[in-house]
Amino acid sequence: MMRKLSWVFLLLLVFWVSCEDPPKVQEPPAQLEVVVGSAEELKEVTAKKVIWKKDGSQMVLIPAGSFQIGDAMSEPDDWMERSRPVHTVELDGFYMDVNEVTVEQFKKFVQQSGYSYNSWNDVAKYSPGDNYPMIYVTWNDATAYAKWAGKRLSTEKEWEWAARGGLKNKEYPWGDDESKARDYANYKDTGGKDKWGNCASVGSFKPNGYGLFDMAGNVWEWCQDWSSEDQKYRVLRGGNWINSAYYLRVSYRNRTTPINRGNNIGFRCVVSGSP
């Protein structure tokens, strides 16, 4: 009799345990935003994404690496001549703004620094909101902003390495298929995701492999470099909302005088440093 009771008790115990709620799985803690205030602080950071304290921009780590800069497709067009010869470069890691510098961020810079800027009416015609790219900026304007923020303009080599997003020997930041351009870039005319006739608000298209938006189209982006030894022109990269798709090619090099302002010229910034 006692043996039967023992078996009954055991069955009841198993039933009771099985009816209990299953143990909760410990969720990993949500990743906190890493806010960085200076290049010196960045040296201690291991996160791949950070928030830059001065201007509130999101920045992403672009890893160190080696790549072939220039027109690896050997395009026959004369307008690609400045992208040759192809040569190999090595770069240390650095952080780059995820988006082009916005109107709101540039306004903050002007207000806090007292920088003289008087082209707001022109800006509003083509970038009509705070989250649109800042335009009508000279190379000196862009450099002044970068210095205020504790950053700098990218070198041309850094820009192309970042724009490729980890891809090798491809025409565009997304690959070789031009038919996908409307998913990734705001350029001449409209179609697909491109519904703007002028500048698009930043981050409106798909990012490249490093999570960078608008590396093709929207606005040209100033780089540090002179385009040639005569030091007459500074380099512009990335294509823009006015021109056709062939300007979106990741190796295409444009140039203009550093005092030029335009409704299709903007910039983004970088900070040296790699965990």
Which pLDDT tens digit goes with each residue over 60-112? 999 998 766 656 555 656 655 665 566 676 788 999 999 999 999 999 999 99
* Mean pLDDT score, 144-167: 96
Residue 81's φ and ψ, nearest 5 degrees, are -60, -35
Pairing status of strand 49-52 against strand 35-36: parallel
Residue 27 placed within a domain: no
Q: Mean pLDDT in the chain?
A: 86
Helical (H) or strand (E) element with 269: strand 269-272
Residue 35 placed within a domain: no
- Each residue's pLDDT tens digit, 210-246: 999 999 999 999 999 999 889 999 999 999 999 999 8
Residue of higher predicted confidence among 105 and 27: 105
Indicate if the pLDDT at residue 14 is higher than 50: no
Residue 36's φ and ψ, nearest 5 degrees, are -120, 135
Residue of higher predicted confidence among 113 and 92: 113
Please state, in angstroms and rounded to a whole number, the distance separating the CA atoms of residues 69 and 160.
Answer: 7
* Confidence at residue 76, expressed as pLDDT on a 0 to 100 scale: 58
Confidence band of 154 (pLDDT split at 50, 70, 90): very high
Question: Long-range contacts made by residues 119-126, C-beta under 8 angstroms, separation at least 24?
Answer: 119/261, 122/261, 122/263, 125/198, 125/263, 126/198, 126/199, 126/263, 126/264
Residue 273 placed within a domain: no
CB 84 within 8 A of CB 70: yes
* Confidence at residue 17, expressed as pLDDT on a 0 to 100 scale: 38
Say what the pTM is.
0.84
* Confidence at residue 45, expressed as pLDDT on a 0 to 100 scale: 87
* Mean pLDDT score, 267-275: 86
How many domains would you assign to the chain? 1
Residue 76 placed within a domain: no
- Name the percent of the chain lying above pLDDT 70: 80
Range of the domain at 217: 100-268
Confidence band of 13 (pLDDT split at 50, 70, 90): very low
Residue 63 placed within a domain: no
Confidence band of 143 (pLDDT split at 50, 70, 90): very high
Q: Which residues, at least 6 apart from 117, have a Cβ–Cβ distance to it below 8 Å?
A: 106, 110, 141
Domain CATH number, residue 251: 3.90.1580.10
Please state, in angstroms and rounded to a whole number, the distance separating the CA atoms of residues 191 and 253.
Answer: 25
Residue 130 placed within a domain: yes
Residue 21 placed within a domain: no
Task: Give all strands (DSSP E) within 63-208, no chain letters.
Answer: 65-69, 87-91, 94-97, 152-153
Please state, in angstroms and rounded to a whole number, the distance separating the CA atoms of residues 62 and 48.
Answer: 8
Token pair 């890691």: residue: 93
* Confidence at residue 8, expressed as pLDDT on a 0 to 100 scale: 42
Q: What is the DSSP letter of 228?
A: S
* Confidence at residue 11, expressed as pLDDT on a 0 to 100 scale: 43
* Confidence at residue 29, expressed as pLDDT on a 0 to 100 scale: 41
Token representation of residue 19? 């009816």
Please state, in angstroms and rounded to a whole number, the distance separating the CA atoms of residues 158 and 101.
Answer: 17
Confidence band of 163 (pLDDT split at 50, 70, 90): very high
Residue 75 placed within a domain: no
Q: Which of 209, 225, 103, 105 is nearest to 163 (CA)?
A: 209
* Confidence at residue 153, expressed as pLDDT on a 0 to 100 scale: 98
- Each residue's pLDDT tens digit, 166-213: 998 899 999 999 999 999 999 999 999 999 999 999 999 999 999 999
